[in-house]
Structure 1
Amino acid sequence: MSLRVTQPGVLALLQDRGRFGQHRLGLTNGGPLDPTAFAWCNRLLQNPADATCVEVSFGGLHLEAGVDTSICLTGANMPLAINERECEPWEVHPVRAGDSIALGFAERGCRAYLGVAGGFEIPPSFGSAATVTREQIGGLHGGKLQAGDLLPCATRRDCQRLYLSAEQRPHYSSVATLRVIPGYQDHHFSRLQQRRLFSHAYAVSARSDRMGYRLEGPAIACDIDGILSEGICAGAIQIPPDGQPIVLLNDRQTIGGYPKIGSALSLDCAQLAQLTPGGAVYFAPITPYAAHNALHLARSYFNSQTVAERKP
């Protein structure tokens, strides 16, 4: 009653919406780097919003079905084949025991989400199935999927063939603009340094990962070298001594001592996480009021979207 991993690809992690309320223990959130693509995967499968999926970075994941069920792939433009037959992403597809499921490598974007009807049945660890490899918690064994791993799931033969039209799907590119909410330490950065951040392009470093995206570009100077370690939110933009910004993401540490010039809007962090090394990043200031409006509009837009059903 499972899907068996025959080839794990570059990086495949079991993720639900994330682990919250555990920072006091030093445990970070985890969860999907692109919550919108993750949410669409579960919505198309008619799963609970927190159902566990596989986050596939870059691609290359191959599975063998040991159960009759349905699957859906959303996120980055990553080829999907069932029994070597090419299938559309952003659409629910039935699979039968013995079928092979193969994901190619991303052509645009970086992260894709593979879900199964009812979600993968993964026991929670500290309230969540989200995998954080640095802390070795969540998932099957606290790490990335390996060949031979079994992903438990239930038999489901009655799923609707829902799909999202091409016009409604997100579009991924090699450029992202991050809207930045100024932080309480921004006065430690002169007006010149702030203008430098907001007027230049930065490139995604090859050292980027789920903890944070390291950027390369004009160095930003701060009038303090460090601060007492304090809690860090998702999207915080740290400026280390070398002046190269780091945008912290889901697997960030819970505390840190680098000064922060602000925090990137969570909606835009999802776009950032879809960039591969060399991708271009721009920063733009935004007020907290405008940030709240953007989040509410995005949620309203998601809820207002309609899906269609593919008839047999």
Structure 2
Amino acid sequence: MAFNVIKPGLLALVQDLGRHGHQSIGLTTGGPMDEVAFRWGNALLDNDCNCPEIEITFGMLTLEAQADTSIAITGADLAATLNDKSITPWQTYAIKKGDVLAFQQPIWGLRAYLAVKGGFHCEPTLGSVATVVREKIGGLTGNGDKLQKGDVLAYQAYHDHEKRSVPRLAIPNYGNREIPVILGYQYQSFSSLERANFFSSDYKVSSNSDRMGYRLEGQEIHSNLKGIISEGIAYGAIQIPKDGQPIVLLQDRQTIGGYPKIGCVTRIGGSILAQQKPGDVIQFTPITVDQAEQERHLQMARLTQWR
């Protein structure tokens, strides 16, 4: 009772909501780059919110089902097909034994999420199955391996499929590339001109971007600080290294760092950012902590009410 991996694609990883409580020993959290899409995948199937899913980056993944089940696909549109028939994200589908599920190159967005009824069966490492390739932890093997041809993604067979879809208003607009930023405590070390440049400039997503962080190319900005003592790194922290090009640190970020930080993208903003491809252009917009909390509460309330 499993999906057999026929083609592994560019980067397909087993993820749950992350490995928390271990940053003091240098282990990052991991988890889904687009948390909103991940949570909706499990909600569509009435799964626990932390059930493991597959994060599919850029597509090219092909799976063959060995037993009946229900799946949900959320996040980017990776031109998915079920037995060569096109299917769209943000809804559930019935899977029969022998069905072939395939993902192609992105139509829009970058990362799709595949959830299965009851979640994929994996052995946790330090309380989580989240795959962090750089740290060689999590995933099917426990060693941080991405999916490979011949891997077996186990699940519990399920026959009572229910067709569901995410309400249109709850589906994120990945085309809205204004990323909200909460100002950081080192914000004052940037002059008023540098701040204005940061929030009024377009930044292009560099090809040198990954799950650790998104490197951006555009207007240089510089802090008055020559350097800082290494300190803990929060999700979404926007580091400004010596070359003045911002780096947004995401799920697989290092646990400490010593560059000045102008602010921090929100979880919702980070989900939108994670769906941008190299070459896409974004802008940053400042918001308050209260606004960020309201945005988060609204998103979670939609999920709770829908469930």
Q: TM-score range by the shorter chain?
A: over 0.9
Cα drift, residue 70 of structure 1 = 1.5
Query: Deviation per CA, 1:203-229, whole angstroms, max 9, x where unpaired?
Result: 100101000000001101112232111
* 8 Å Cα contact 1:117-1:159 kept in structure 2: no
CA contact (8 A) 2:76 2:89 kept: no
AA of the residue aligned to 2:149: A
Identity percentage of aligned residues: 48
Find out whether 1:87 has 2:87 as its counterpart: yes
Aligned to 2:303: 302
Q: 1:167 deviation in Å?
A: 5.7
Q: In the TM superposition, what is the alpha-carbon distance from 1:262 to its structure 2 partner?
A: 1.0
- List aligned pairs for 1:177-256, cutoff 5 A: 177-256=178-257
Partners of 2:226 and 2:7 lie apart in 1 by: 45
1:236-269 CA-to-partner distances (Å, cap 9, x unmatched) read 0000000000000000001111111111111101
Match of 2:173 in 1: 171
Deviation for aligned residue 1:12: 0.5
**In structure 1, what is the equivalent of residue 154 of structure 2?**
152
Contact 1:204 1:278 in 2 (8 A): yes
Deviates more, 1:220-229 or 1:274-283: 220-229
What is residue 309 of structure 1 aligned with on the other side? none
Residue 152 of structure 1: CA displacement? 1.0
For structure 2, the 5+ residue unaligned runs are none
Determine if the alignment matches structure 1 residue 285 to structure 2 residue 286.
yes
- Correspondence 1:65 to 2:97: no
Retained in 1: the 8 A contact 2:75–2:109?
yes
Q: TM-score, normalised by structure 1?
A: 0.94
SS at match of 2:37: helix
Instruction: Return the offset for 1:168.
Output: 4.6
Give the root-mean-square deviation of aligned CA atoms: 1.4
**Offset, 1:192:** 1.0
Cα contact 2:65–2:96 (8 A) shared by 1: yes
What SS does the aligned partner of 2:153 have?
A: strand
SS in 2 for 1:292: helix
Per-residue CA distance 1:25-80 (angstroms, 9 max, x = gap): 21111111111111111111111110000000111110011122121211101222
Which residue of the partner structure matches residue 270 of structure 1?
271
> Gapped runs of 5+ residues in structure 1?
307-312
**What's the TM-score once normalised by structure 2's chain length?**
0.95
